A and B are shown apart, each in its own frame.
Chain A
Amino acid sequence: MSGTDEQAAIAQLKRGEIGGLSLLVVRYEGQAVRAAYLVCHDLAVAEDVVQDAFVRAYEKIGQFDQSRPFAPWFLRSVVNAALRAATRQSRQVDDAEDRLAASISHDPQPDDLLAAAATKEAVWAALDHLSPQQRAAIVLRYYLDLSEAEMAAQLAVPPGTVKRRLHDARLRLRQLLPAWLQPTTKE
């Protein structure tokens, strides 16, 4: 499907013609499911999130600025929804996160974020041990190529929170990767 087709599909949707949705689904379903899965680590949840995101996009298409690309708008909403789903699943509470973020002075270097992982297998293993928030940060930054400022806007959190999540993800990866490779120390 070309960019022109995509524009036509969106125009169709804006006119209330549901046929345009099929074209967008064909084009973005796979990427959306993968992005959601990376965050929530549950295929059933990821597919549910994506399905709902498409329906929501259909409902909200009137609010979409057609001069802008559809993919970032849609995929960010998918990641956001996946994060909500994963967070609900893990029942984590983040209400004090912003306060903590403000106290953290680390300035993460994005390219260093997964520096601890020398191989793709190491990345995969480490992903299993990140929190949903940290995974969402990774996905937005590395999978969807968002800047930290865009991430903060997308996640509706202060920039400090984004910095903190990225920082936490990097720390955790560094801690976890050696842990799988070295015996533990008994006190």
Chain B
Amino acid sequence: MNKQEIKSALDEYALRATLDRPSLGQTITAAAELQRSAPQPRNHPRRTLRLTQLATISALVLVVSFVSYALAPIVGRGLAGDFNRQEAIATATAVADPELNPLLWLPLVKRAQSLNLSQTVASDTITLKRVYADSNLIAVHYTIQSLGAHVDAISGCANSQEVPGSAGRGFVATGGYGFSLICGQAIPTEVRLYANDKQVPAFTGNTLFMDKSSIVISLATPSSSGYPVQGDDGSYAFAGSDLLYRWQGGDKQGERGLIEAVSYFDASSLHESGPLNLRFSVDLQPGGDRTPMHMDELGYVRHSYSYRTATAGDSRPNEPFQYSFTAPQVAEQRTITAQQTLKVNGLSMTLDDVQLTPVQMRLHLRFSQPVAASASNWRPFADLVGPGFATENGYSNEYSLTGRQGNLLAERWERQADGSWLYIVTGNVYERLGDWALTVYHLQGGGAGDLPGPWIFKFNLPAAALSSK
């Protein structure tokens, strides 16, 4: 292709992805105006605005995603072979249950145990709704309800709007440009889970997921270890750790706000069989008036920080909500022994096995680290495609809102102590029988660049093996 043809191809590629995208004109102008007129420190309004930018954009993503899915089979024709990512993504969307709470995708809801355990401290009530546990993952679904939470104008929740009787109260801001702020809503600063008195680490990436009217906001924080995160100015901070939030509430003082949340924990280190004695605790820690979610310079939620540092008068002692209960472990699991070794460009790579639980697939991969002076840790760049299921191709695993039947945990690579790699894909994978492919496109060696592949591993999930280990 000549240069003009390449330019034309690039333009058409981008045009398809940005089809029917409403203009950002009003938002941009309003952002610039606020930037000009804001009396706050320079970064304040922009950070606040970015949240709403993402709200707008996320909504647009839904629209564009729908269009993209419609076009996917056409776009995907260029990809030959058994596994077509575009078709898989389209199919994955098609099987999503529209009635399902996007926080809790189907297999998790089906197998979860109902709890309905409530505790109230001051004007906040936390109710544990359900728990799911298997050998790899524990998920706790709960709600946080705050008396006094309400929607306020885009100008923000002023100090005077603190909830009576509660000196200082965090609020969740989704404000700006048509999306109002949520004020007076308590939010968790830390959650912990113990199983048989052993602490269970929080699982995988961090996603905040909130909903206001028909606008869905998907936000991600990068830290895998979670709370708390200090703000840029050293002030009070909040960061989501494996929590998915959905806010519901009215626009009047005194109405109850409600956050739905799901916390995910990695149970693979427990090695426990049978029912688990679980202890789950949540800290609701006030920090004065604050916008807990801070957008960094790139528009992502990295952490949050207070507009003003909490003072002694604002603080109240940590009053963690604690719940003890027993949860059965879902026994369904299976292991596919792959033992496939592929050699590409001189590098042998082995897929040892694939472990499945109803909501997760774990693939064990081995290869000898290439020797390079400038890189000591080569990590795979890959995607996984199966019947009606496809992961992102490695770069954008934490930010995706599209598809996945509400699975926002997406995928994660973890390097093991023995040098091997574990590729963890969370989602509705267990009953997707048929052919799957793990494509490792290349190894990323940090500053050493990439070591090209691809290594394409193919395996099959047969029906006969269901419910067997």
Q: A residues bordering B, Cβ < 8 Å?
A: 16, 18, 21-22, 25-26, 29-30, 33-35, 37-38, 41-52, 54-55, 58-59, 81, 84-86, 88-90, 92-97, 99-100, 110-111, 113-115, 117-125, 127-129, 131-132, 138-139, 142-143, 145, 168, 171-172, 175-176, 179-181, 183-187
User: Contacts A42-B396, A43-B57, A85-B298: A142 and B7 contacting too (C-beta < 8 A)?
Assistant: yes
Shortest distance from the beta carbon of B296 to any chain A beta carbon, whole Å = 8
Shortest distance from the beta carbon of A103 to any chain B beta carbon, whole Å = 11
Q: Is the CB of A187 within 8 A of B343?
A: yes
Is B9 positioned at the interface, with any CB of A under 8 Å from its CB?
yes
Q: Is the CB of A180 within 8 A of B18?
A: no
Is B452 positioned at the interface, with any CB of A under 8 Å from its CB?
yes
Q: Is the CB of B23 within 8 A of A25?
A: yes
Chain B residues bordering chain A, tally (CB within 8 A): 75
Question: Which A residue sits closest to B31, measured CB to CB?
Answer: A55
Shortest distance from the beta carbon of B7 to any chain A beta carbon, whole Å = 5
Beyond A26-B23, A33-B24, A142-B7, list 16 extra A-B contacts (CB 8 Å): A21-B29, A25-B24, A25-B29, A38-B10, A43-B18, A46-B18, A49-B299, A55-B28, A55-B35, A89-B300, A96-B374, A110-B3, A122-B78, A131-B450, A179-B453, A186-B342
CA distance A111 to B444 in the complex (A): 27
Residues of B within 8 A of A172 (CB): 442, 450, 452
Shortest distance from the beta carbon of A76 to any chain B beta carbon, whole Å = 16
Shortest distance from the beta carbon of B49 to any chain A beta carbon, whole Å = 8
One digit per residue, 1 when the CB lies within 8 angstroms of any chain A CB and 0 when it does not, for chain B 357-372 equals 0000000000000000
Q: Which of A26, A50, A85, A121 has the most CB of B within 10 A?
A: A121
B204-263 residues at the A interface, CB under 8 angstroms: none
One digit per residue, 1 when the CB lies within 8 angstroms of any chain A CB and 0 when it does not, for chain B 48-80 equals 001001101110110010000000000101111
Shortest distance from the beta carbon of A57 to any chain B beta carbon, whole Å = 9
Q: Is the CB of B13 within 8 A of A29?
A: no
Q: Is the CB of A114 within 8 A of B1?
A: yes
Question: Which B residue sits closest to A37, measured CB to CB?
Answer: B14
CA distance A55 to B64 in the complex (A): 24
Shortest distance from the beta carbon of A99 to any chain B beta carbon, whole Å = 7
Residues of B within 8 A of A86 (CB): 395
Q: Is the CB of A48 within 8 A of B32?
A: no
Q: Is the CB of B342 within 8 A of A48?
A: no
Select which of B11, B79, B340, B396 is within 8 A of A186 by beta carbon: B340
Question: Which A residue sits closest to B12, measured CB to CB?
Answer: A120
Is B39 positioned at the interface, with any CB of A under 8 Å from its CB?
no
User: Contacts A96-B448, A125-B79: A55 and B298 contacting too (C-beta < 8 A)?
Assistant: no
CA distance A97 to B446 in the complex (A): 9
Q: Is the CB of B298 within 8 A of A118?
A: no
Considering the complex of A and B, which 8 residue pairs feature the smallest CB-CB distances, nearest first? A96-B447, A121-B78, A34-B14, A48-B299, A120-B9, A123-B9, A96-B374, A44-B57
Q: Is the CB of A55 within 8 A of B46?
A: yes
Is B33 positioned at the interface, with any CB of A under 8 Å from its CB?
yes
Is B456 positioned at the interface, with any CB of A under 8 Å from its CB?
yes
Question: Which B residue sits closest to A131, measured CB to CB?
Answer: B450
Select which of A35, A99, A120, A186 is within 8 A of B8 by beta carbon: A120
Residues of B within 8 A of A22 (CB): 25, 29
Residues of B within 8 A of A38 (CB): 10, 13-14
Is B15 positioned at the interface, with any CB of A under 8 Å from its CB?
yes
Residues of B within 8 A of A51 (CB): 24, 27-28, 31, 53
Q: Is the CB of B454 within 8 A of A95?
A: no
Shortest distance from the beta carbon of B77 to any chain A beta carbon, whole Å = 7
Residues of B within 8 A of A122 (CB): 78
25 A–B contact pairs at CB < 8 A? A30-B18, A33-B24, A41-B395, A43-B18, A45-B298, A49-B298, A54-B24, A55-B35, A58-B35, A88-B298, A90-B396, A92-B446, A94-B446, A94-B447, A97-B447, A100-B447, A114-B6, A117-B9, A118-B1, A122-B78, A124-B13, A125-B79, A139-B10, A142-B6, A181-B81
CA distance A117 to B78 in the complex (A): 11
User: Contacts A55-B32, A97-B449: A43 and B395 contacting too (C-beta < 8 A)?
Assistant: no
Residues of B within 8 A of A113 (CB): 6
User: Contacts A115-B1, A119-B78, A181-B80: A45 and B441 contacting too (C-beta < 8 A)?
Assistant: no
Q: Is the CB of A100 within 8 A of B448?
A: yes
Is B117 positioned at the interface, with any CB of A under 8 Å from its CB?
no
Question: Which B residue sits closest to A110, measured CB to CB?
Answer: B3
Question: Which A residue sits closest to B16, measured CB to CB?
Answer: A124
Select which of A34, A93, A123, A187 is within 8 A of B348 by beta carbon: A187
Q: Is the CB of A123 within 8 A of B10?
A: yes
Q: Is the CB of A123 within 8 A of B6?
A: yes
Q: Is the CB of A18 within 8 A of B1?
A: no
User: Contacts A25-B25, A41-B396, A55-B28: A184 and B8 contacting too (C-beta < 8 A)?
Assistant: no
Q: Is the CB of B24 within 8 A of A50?
A: yes
Q: Is the CB of A18 within 8 A of B36?
A: yes
Is B113 positioned at the interface, with any CB of A under 8 Å from its CB?
no
Residues of B within 8 A of A139 (CB): 10
Residues of A within 8 A of B81 (CB): 180-181, 183
Q: Is the CB of B21 within 8 A of A33?
A: yes
CA distance A88 to B80 in the complex (A): 31
